[in-house]
Structure formats: structure tokens, C-alpha cells
Amino acid sequence: MHDVAIIGAGPGGSATAHYLAQRGLRVLLLDKAKFPRDKTCGDGLTPRAVAVLQDMGLVDDLKRVGHVIKRFEVFAPNRNSTRDVIAVQDGLPDFSLVVPRLLLDDRIRQRAVDSGAAFWPDAHVLDVKQGNGTQHVEIKVERDGKAEAHQARMAVIATGANTRLLMHTGILKRQPNVLVASRAYFEGVRGLSDIWTLRFDDVPMPGYGWVFPTGAETANIGVGYFKEGRNASAAEPFKRFIASPPLREMLTQARQAGPVRGYPLRDDFLASPAYAERVLIVGEAAGLVNPLTGEGIDYALESGRMAAQHLAGMFEHDDFSAQRHQAYDAALREHFAPLFEFCIKVRQWCLRPFVLNALVSVANRRDDLRSRLVSVVLGGAPVKGKLTAGRVARALLNR
């Protein structure tokens, strides 16, 4: 029997496995895919993500295979722009990274294995039977066409936006609404440097487009569209975005490398369960995707580290009570809820053309607002407590 079985070897699951294995726990990491495997994403790693990856000892390697980002640029709907450096805030690194998920996820998974976790690829988890008063969970897995049952004292679900297992086990009671995005890789892109670009021009509102360099002339380009609903798609917004004058100029001599891929995003953390009996949930499986930007890798890594810390405490004290599970949930809420509440309010209030036009215009005259905008986009939450449009405005304007 393993101490902890982790379902899903993306950033959240693999980070959890690494931190648990480092503490000497017997960890089994399962994934339905064989690695390396691609994952459709924007590929951006905010300073929050970089901080956890530094703690895991991975950043030097990721710098070699990724692209270092030192500046951030935002284009308003009227195509005016503001730009700022990524400054050190709250002890975080002063840079971001863009690393294709094909490389990133495999590096983090291998780090978990190097730390002592066992990894089973091609493992399709069919069911997780929770404790029901027993001292373990039973994991039903299909491998090589055969169904197997394995026991662990605790389980971690890190299955991203895929809700099948959560719905099957009854942990998630109903399908959440999802946000949607589409992206493609391009080669031979003009004008790239060390800048992340977010564009609110030539995209439907509420939504945004991005250009994230993966190299000197290569980029991940995509569109996120905040149109909730199971039939929503960002395919048409993506086509319109890359056909816009600014993108046409960048892509004049470029070649699309691979297909356009769409993917859902779960940002329902405020209403999503983070635990069940003998089960903790991390990353996007707990709805941890930024409601404003669609970023989720940083929160997956952070929640994975937090889950490992709480699980280690459970094993240390041989205490797997409901109170221990609730303590993990409370820690997640304390850490992430103010950010989510703030970003949802900003999305409701700010993702309108006239507001964004005004903010970018003022930001070009005020260094403090420009830095604040970059902080918000990278996951900062400058307001806590009950939020109103006025408080959000004062926070952004630092008044």
C-alpha cells in the first residue's frame, strides 16, 4: 500500500508528488498519458510559478529550454498600449518564463520521480472509493487493458479541467461552467523579444488575446474568451485575432507550426470542493484558474505544495480526521479567495472597452498604476475584504 496516490501528473500533481516524496512518504503518481505529452495551454509561467519551480530546483534547466520574459505589455481596445518591467514584489522573482507544456510537465514529473515517487503512465483511473470510515482509499486503475485495484492511505486528485472522475465519485455535484481558449504555435514571428503581450483589441469582450514568445522567432499565440457555457468556443475569436492588422504584420513571414487547439478552463474555485474523505484536490481540479487571465500553472504548483504540507502533517500525527481535511480547505481559501474575488470583480468591471482604454491611458502617465496593472495581470490581489467597484478602482489607482 502506498501512503498517497496522486491522480494526474500535470504541474499540480507532480509538484505534490515531489514534496511528499522528499519527506520520505511512499508516493504513487498516475497519469493516463505516456510522457512527454503535450498539453494545450498558453505556456506562461508567472513569477509565482517561477518561485515554486525555483524551490524545486528546476528553473536553471527551464531557462535553457524556455524563454525568459522581463517585461509586460497591455494593449487597450483602442490599440493604445502600456508597458512595464516585471519588478520584484513580495519576494517573487523579477522574471517570467514561457515553456511549452511538452517540456515543462515532463521536467516536473521527472523531478518527482527523482525525489522518490513511483510513476505509472498509461494508467486510466476508473474510480476512487473513498474511506467510508476505513483507513484507506481504493483506486481502480486500468493498465494494459486490465483492471486493477490499489490501496493508498490518501489520494490526491489533480486531473485539471477534466471532471469525469470528480463527477463519477460524487465529489463534484454538477458540471461547472468553463471558460474557453484556443492557441497555436507560430515560427518566423517578427518583433519578438522579452515581452509578454496581452491584447484587448480585435477580440470579443469579455476576452483577450496573447502573444507569448517561446524563442527569438517562435511564439504561442492565442485567445481566451470569457463566454461561459458548455458549447462555447474560442475558435472564431482566434481566427479574427490573428487576422487583425497588428497580428498580420507580426505573422507576415510566419508559419503556423501545428494545429489550432482549443481547451476549457475551470475558474470556479470559490464554489468548488477542495477535499473529500481521504481525498485532497489540487490545481484546476479545484477550479484554481485565474478568472481574469486564465492562468493556472502557478496556482497548481502552489496548491500542490500546500497539499503536500498538509498531508505530511496528517501522516506525522497519524490524524486523517475531517478537521485535518477542512484545515487544507481553509488554507486554500485564505490563500486564494481574496485573489479570485478581486479578479472576478475586475473582470466584471474592467473588461469593457471604455474602462480599459481609460486605464491604459492613465497608466502611461502614472508609473504606480502601470506597475499595479502588471501586478494584477500576474496574479496580485491588492484589495482584501468586501469588494465594490469603487474599492477596486481605488486599489488600481492607488487612492
Collapse the DSSP code of 186 into the 3-class scheme (helix H, G, I; strand E, B; otherwise coil) and give the result.
strand
**What is the reported pLDDT for 362?**
86
* Entry pTM: 0.94
> For 193-205, b where at least 16 C-beta lie within 10 A, e where not — what string?
eebbbbbbbbbee
Task: Calculate what percentage of the chain has a pLDDT beyond 90.
Answer: 73
Amino acid found at 392: V
Dihedral, CA of residue 101, residue 374, residue 49 and residue 63, to nearest 10: 60
Burial class (CB in 10 A: 0-12, 13-18, 19+), 242: buried
Residues 6+ apart with CB under 8 A from 103: 36, 62, 65, 66
- Domains delineated in the chain: 2-42+101-174+267-342 (3.50.50.60), 179-265 (3.30.9.100)
CA 306 remoteness from chain centre: 15
In terms of DSSP H, where are the helices of the chain? 11-22, 47-55, 59-65, 101-115, 164-169, 235-242, 245-250, 297-317, 322-350, 353-363, 367-377, 389-397
Burial class (CB in 10 A: 0-12, 13-18, 19+), 273: middle
**What is the reported pLDDT for 374?**
75
DSSP state letter for 270: G
Angle at 83 between CA 81 and CA 78, to 5 degrees: 10
**What is the reported pLDDT for 257?**
96
**What is the reported pLDDT for 181?**
92
Q: Which residues pair with 198 in a beta bridge?
A: 74, 210
Short-list 229, 186, 183, 181, CA closest to 207: 181
DSSP letters spanning 317-362: HT---HHHHHHHHHHHHHHHHHHHHHHHHHHHHH-SHHHHHHHHHH
CA distance 286 to 275: 9
**What is the reported pLDDT for 90?**
78
Collapse the DSSP code of 309 into the 3-class scheme (helix H, G, I; strand E, B; otherwise coil) and give the result.
helix
Residues (pLDDT < 70) of the chain are 131-133, 227-232, 350, 380-399
Angle at 41 between CA 40 and CA 46, to 5 degrees: 155
